[in-house]
Amino acid sequence: MTTALTLSGSIRKGSYNRLLQHHVGGKLEAAGVRVTALELGDFEMPIFNEDLEADHLPESAVRLAELWRTHDIIFIATPEYNGSMPPLLVNTLAWLSRQKPSVFRHAIFGIGGVSSGKYGTIFAQSHLRDSLSKVGALVVPTLLGIGPAEQALDAEGNPTEPAIIRKVDAIVHELTHFSRG
Ligand SMILES: Cc1cc2nc3c(=O)[nH]c(=O)nc-3n(C[C@H](O)[C@H](O)[C@H](O)COP(=O)(O)O)c2cc1C
């Protein structure tokens, strides 16, 4: 059975990106995928510093890396902070990128994001896609940018706009049909 990990780059209570994470996870399950929904808050890591690598590689980074290596699909919902990725995601990617074998070369990656602004995290997603591509990840083409959050999602986190609903279907289709060969 195809497996997926979903995660949100925001761990705040009431995070819109967590709502998107679970919405996409539900759609993947409906497509026959076994989904593991991660909370990055369960994988605490210090701010990355090369000096820490030799003796203080966080156990949570090792655990997370193994999960990334053993799932077929990874969906990341990213917030946008100051036109870029939030520090939680940058830090997580830094720790993951230093581990061998690569955590980026197995799964198919999908990215999306919700922001309070009308551009719907397009800047953050652009940075995230570039960064993932740089380290060897295969990222599907549909980018799921959603905003402003209060209008674009209902109280349960379901997208309200037909164009976004179609994009969710498109990214789920791509995630379940792309392959690294
Ligand atoms: C430090 C900071 C920077 C932000 N920068 C942006 C931004 O550049 N663009 C944007 O659309 N929203 C920005 N926001 C607003 C976020 O889109 C909003 O807080 C959103 O709800 C965060 O995602 P979350 O609900 O998953 O935590 C920023 C918020 C914070 C706290």
Any atom of ligand 1 within 6 Å of the Cβ of 13: no
The 3 state secondary structure assigned to 158-171 is CECCHHHHHHHHHH
Any atom of ligand 1 within 6 Å of the Cβ of 16: yes
Any atom of ligand 1 within 6 Å of the Cβ of 104: no
For residue 33, report the distance from its CA to the centre of ligand 1, in Å: 30
137-172 core/surface letters (b: 16 or more CB in 10 A; e: else) = bbbbebbbbbbebeebbeeebebeeeebeebbeebb
Q: What is the pLDDT of residue 134?
A: 97
Q: Which domains does the chain have, with CATH numbers?
A: 3-177 (3.40.50.360)
Say whether pTM exceeds 0.95: yes
**Digitized pLDDT (tens) for each residue of the chain, 181 residues in all:** 999 999 999 999 999 999 999 999 999 999 999 999 999 999 999 999 999 998 889 999 999 999 999 999 999 999 999 999 999 999 999 999 999 999 999 999 999 999 999 999 999 999 999 999 999 999 999 999 999 999 999 988 999 999 999 999 999 999 999 998 7
Most ligand 1 atoms within 8 A of CB, residue of 10, 82, 115, 118 to mutate? 115
Q: What is the pLDDT of residue 177?
A: 97
Atom nearest to 17 CA in ligand 1: 26
